[in-house]
């Protein structure tokens, strides 16, 4: 997997010298299938006890406030927290976001109320924005000691400790497509044939201001070797509408426009909408993230599962898989909470916990561990759901070196704040809407996108 910069030096804030257990003694032998996966967390709950020691600005409190949207993993988190509290003089107060609410949105409310969280479970792109704003404390030992990817690094310090990787991935009906189409041209032909032989669309093309549409359109540009940006972190240039990049981008939107003829109207669709189209047999192939579709369908239409197979994104003829969008989620520590040092200790402890794999495998096939070595671990091999879909893990292993975050799109994988802000505004999904709904030509769409991206630099 692409990493943005080399690991930094030891954090000056890691002052606690308590002995920690490093071995992982217990592994999850076999996780049951996930009937439903709560991506946005559940209702606010708690683990641990004790009063919140203070508001903001301190670092010596004993209560660590931890904000997460992963309420579906509450039981595992309770176990990890109990393990941590038995070894450290801290109490962890878990705060889960309401369903449908992101950690970032809830964090803003807490900051406005004068009670910022100490730990936040979020994406690397959000971490980079917060690091730019100067509100994060380093988590360098957690990154260094666990040999983690280091996507948010500045001045020799690491500000984001990945806990999982979630690569984009497609799923298709293996009983509708006799074989998986390879090139863009083959996909156009095969998807068009589906409508003639089956009462469904051949492929789902999504557009609009949604995360799913934004990831999908970005990946299609990458598939055609479009260099969207260039330059170092402090000098990012927008190149999507320049020279050969513009030509390739125009060709990409031309193909997208043609594929949309074999798709339901996917404007404004999010992850669940595309999965619903596959589940309800309205579409024969979709782009999503990891095994989220099959985990969802497994709980609602188990009869359909055997007819679903994973697939990479379509590639133009003669192209190779050089960049593959993978979400990276994990921990960041704010420097204005009530227990900064304790939060740094917990983040390091988390990846070394006996229950770490229990957390990752709370949603097998959707969440993967952050390092390639961990893919071959005993818990991964023994998980029942993963054993049911060996092609997913094989595809992840084979393409591990191509996985990258949208953040790592400056020169040589340097962190790119323009890309982070573009994703926050879902500009690429909006560009597809300009094309498919707004009536712009492919060339006009590329020029519109370039103008919007440059607007983020002002």
Q: For residue 182, is it within any domain?
A: yes
Q: What is the pTM of this model?
A: 0.85
CA distances from 308 to 35, 170, 180, 203 (A): 16, 10, 12, 14
The number of domains in the chain is 1
Q: Give residue 14's pLDDT.
A: 34
Beta partners for residue 329, in sequence order? 123, 164
Average pLDDT, stretch 138-164? 95
For residue 458, give every residue at least 6 positions away whose Cβ sits within 8 Å of its Cβ, in sequence order, or none: none
User: How is residue 300 annotated by DSSP?
Assistant: H
Instruction: Estimate to the nearest angstrom the gap between the alpha carbon of 390 and the chain centroid.
Output: 21
Q: Is 50 helix (H, G, I), strand (E, B) or coil?
A: coil
Average pLDDT, stretch 99-104? 78
Q: Give residue 27's pLDDT.
A: 30
Q: Cβ(415)–Cβ(157) under 8 Å?
A: no
Q: For residue 99, is it within any domain?
A: no
pLDDT in tens, 12-57: 333 333 333 333 323 333 333 333 343 433 333 333 333 333 333 4
CATH number of domain containing 251:
3.40.190.10
pLDDT in tens, 388-423: 999 999 999 999 999 999 999 999 999 999 999 999
Q: For residue 363, is it within any domain?
A: no
Residue with tokens 């559940």: 42
Residue with tokens 């962890």: 92
Q: For residue 76, is it within any domain?
A: no
Q: For residue 109, is it within any domain?
A: no
Average pLDDT, stretch 427-439? 98
Q: For residue 215, is it within any domain?
A: yes
Q: For residue 69, is it within any domain?
A: no
pLDDT of residue 301 exceeding 90, the answer is yes
Q: Which domain holds residue 194?
A: 167-324+403-455
- Provide the residue count of the chain: 458
Give the residue, 308 or 61, on which the prediction is more confident: 308
Q: For residue 382, is it within any domain?
A: no
Pairing mode of beta strands 229-230, 136-137: unpaired
Q: Which of 8-17, 74-83, 128-137, 404-413 has the lowest mean pLDDT?
A: 8-17
């Amino acid at each position: 997997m692409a990493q943005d910069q080399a690991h930094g030096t030891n954090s000056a804030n890691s002052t606690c010298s308590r002995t920690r257990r490093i071995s992982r003694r217990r592994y999850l032998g076999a996780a049951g299938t996930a009937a439903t996966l709560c991506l946005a967390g559940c209702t606010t709950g708690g683990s641990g006890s004790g009063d919140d020691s203070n508001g903001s600005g301190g670092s010596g409190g004993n209560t660590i406030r931890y904000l997460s949207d992963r309420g579906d993993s509450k039981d595992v988190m309770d176990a990890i927290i109990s393990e941590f509290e038995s070894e450290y003089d801290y109490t962890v107060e878990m705060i889960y976001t309401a369903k449908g609410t992101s950690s970032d949105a809830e964090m803003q409310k807490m900051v406005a109320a004068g009670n910022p969280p100490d730990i936040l479970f979020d994406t690397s792109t959000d971490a980079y924005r917060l690091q730019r704003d100067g509100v994060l404390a380093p988590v360098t030992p957690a990154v260094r000691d666990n040999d983690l990817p280091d996507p948010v690094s500045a001045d020799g310090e690491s500000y984001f400790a990945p806990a999982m990787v979630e690569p984009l991935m497609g799923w298709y009906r293996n009983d509708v497509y006799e074989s998986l189409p390879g090139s863009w041209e083959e996909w156009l032909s095969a998807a068009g044939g589906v409508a003639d032989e089956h009462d469904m669309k051949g492929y789902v093309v999504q557009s609009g201001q949604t995360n799913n549409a934004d990831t999908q359109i970005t990946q299609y540009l990458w598939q055609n070797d479009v260099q969207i940006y260039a330059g170092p972190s402090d000098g990012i240039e927008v190149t999507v509408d320049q020279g050969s990049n513009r030509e390739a981008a125009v060709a990409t939107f031309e193909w997208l426009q043609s594929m949309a003829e074999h798709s339901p109207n996917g404007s404004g669709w999010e992850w669940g909408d595309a999965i619903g189209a596959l589940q309800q047999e309205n579409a024969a192939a979709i782009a999503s993230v990891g095994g989220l579709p099959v985990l969802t369908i497994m709980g609602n239409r188990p009869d359909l599962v055997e007819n679903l197979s994973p697939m990479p994104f379509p590639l133009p003829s003669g192209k190779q898989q050089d960049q593959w969008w993978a979400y990276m989620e994990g921990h960041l520590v704010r420097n204005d909470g009530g227990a900064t040092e304790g939060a740094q200790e917990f983040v390091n402890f988390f990846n070394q916990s006996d229950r770490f794999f229990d957390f990752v495998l709370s949603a097998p096939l959707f969440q993967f561990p952050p390092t390639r070595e961990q893919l071959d671990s005993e818990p991964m091999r023994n998980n029942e759901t993963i054993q049911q879909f060996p092609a997913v893990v094989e595809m992840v292993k084979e393409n591990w070196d191509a996985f990258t975050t949208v953040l790592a799109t400056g020169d040589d994988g340097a962190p790119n704040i323009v890309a982070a802000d573009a994703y926050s505004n879902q500009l690429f999904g909006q560009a597809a809407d300009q094309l498919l709904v707004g009536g712009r030509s492919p060339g006009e769409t590329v020029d519109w996108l370039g103008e919007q991206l440059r607007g983020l630099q002002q």
